Each structure stands twice: as structure tokens, then as C-alpha cells.
Amino acid sequence: MHKDSELIDKLGGPAEVARKLGYEMPKGIQRVQNWKYRGIPPYTRVTRTDIFGPTPKKRSSASKAA
């Protein structure tokens, strides 16, 4: 599972996220379910901050080395 799986579950699961995004059912549910394994597409995450919240900050290479 991808780390975005937890966020999707907190938002109510694949069906609820698909509804919030306005995706056609039932294909939208499968689409969001796939994100639990592949991650939320970056474009979707950035353009739908009303649902997913702010984009997580990337860690700098200096903090990765520590």
C-alpha cells in the first residue's frame, strides 16, 4: 500500500473521495482505489487542495542525510 492509502481512508474511503471529486460511478471508485496502491496523482493532489489539503513539503537532501 502507498502512504496515500491512509489519507484516502481518513477522507471516507474510495467511494466518498470519488464522489467529492465528481467522478463517474462506479469507475471513479476503482480509480481512487488504485491510488491506495499507486499514490494520488500529483496533478490531482495539487489542483484539489480543497479535498486533499496542502501539498506535503518535500524533505531537503540535507535532512535526508541526517
Q: What pLDDT was estimated at residue 2?
A: 93
Nearest to 8 by CA among 61, 53, 62, 65: 53
Q: What pLDDT was estimated at residue 54?
A: 86
Contact of 2 with 35, CB cutoff 8 Å: yes
Name the more confident of 56 and 7. 7
Give the C-alpha separation, 57 to 2, whole Å: 17
pTM to 2 decimal places: 0.80
Give the domain ranges of the chain.
4-65
Nearest to 34 by CA among 23, 50, 46: 23
pLDDT digits (tens, 9 = 90+) for 27-61: 999 999 999 999 999 999 999 999 999 877 776 66
